[in-house]
Amino acid sequence: MLLGCLPALVAVLTLVLYARGAERPEAVRLDRPGPARAPAHRAARPRIVPRSVWLGTAQRTQPPPRYDDKVVAVFLHHTDSPSAYDCADAPRIIQHLYAGQTGDRRWDDIGYNFLVDRCGTIYEGRAGGVDRPVTGAHTLGFNHRTAGIAALGTFTAGVPVPRAMTDAIAALTAWKLGLADVDPRASVRLVSSSSHSRYRTGATATLPAVAGHNAGFMTSCPGAALAARLPEIREQAARLQGRTAHPSGTAHPSRTAVPGRTAVPGRTAGPGSAAGHGPTAPPPRPTGTP
């Protein structure tokens, strides 16, 4: 009888073991965290020339780079330098800007995160890694969670802005903002860190994700001609991210008043003044930046 019952017992035991085994993988899958979701709208990284190309032997001793958690906005600048240059001279021009900011102004590094020449070549500016959220020194009050892109040249009213330059700025913007899945046509909320900007310290400003320098600071930078191309740059960057529909609330005022703070209209510095172009900073600090 025992031998006759063995096949039945084996069958029952097999069913029990199978049921237990079938439950285990399901339990493991439920407990295991899923992979991190990548941003939905990423753009290809454009070619970026490393800073070693323009820096050469001009490197000064400087503290380690500082970082934010991400980049949610881009500020566009012009360098207020001659525009009719040979693009082969761009590295020398950038080195000259670096020497002025780290020498005369005693900053720890060049303020801009990136620089773009008239031929559309993108150069790494401030040290720390182009794919990382490096804290720059380009827009007083709004250096955190932003990147500064400087167009080499002067682009005041009536000055032609090369298409290669704006194409490169759009590609760079699309890639940099895409890392945080930010729509270049959207508006973002930024907290001012300096009352010397258009907003008092601690005030929250609603600004375009792709803004001119003058949106955060009293200046004529990035020049009327380049500022006029901002809507086109935003749209092109959004297309490069694969976006079609417009985000809600995409008004792009040059400055937005917030409770407890009145934006100061009409306060601009002329192109020849220290506040009229390029990075802006408080009194010089040898080991830090704004």
In tens, the pLDDT along 73-101 reads 999 999 999 999 999 999 999 999 999 99
pLDDT tens, residue by residue, 247-256: 664 444 433 3
Mean pLDDT of all residues in 272-289: 38
CA atoms of 214 and 186, how far apart (whole Å): 18
Strand partners, 258: 261
pLDDT tens, residue by residue, 121-155: 999 999 999 999 999 999 999 999 999 999 999 99
Q: Which of 25-34, 48-57, 238-247 has the lowest average pLDDT?
A: 25-34
CA atoms of 71 and 246, how far apart (whole Å): 21
CA atoms of 63 and 274, how far apart (whole Å): 25
Element (H, E) at 8: helix 2-31
Is pLDDT at 220 greater than 50 in this prediction? yes
Cβ atoms of residues 156 and 271 within 8 Å: yes
Mean pLDDT of the chain: 81
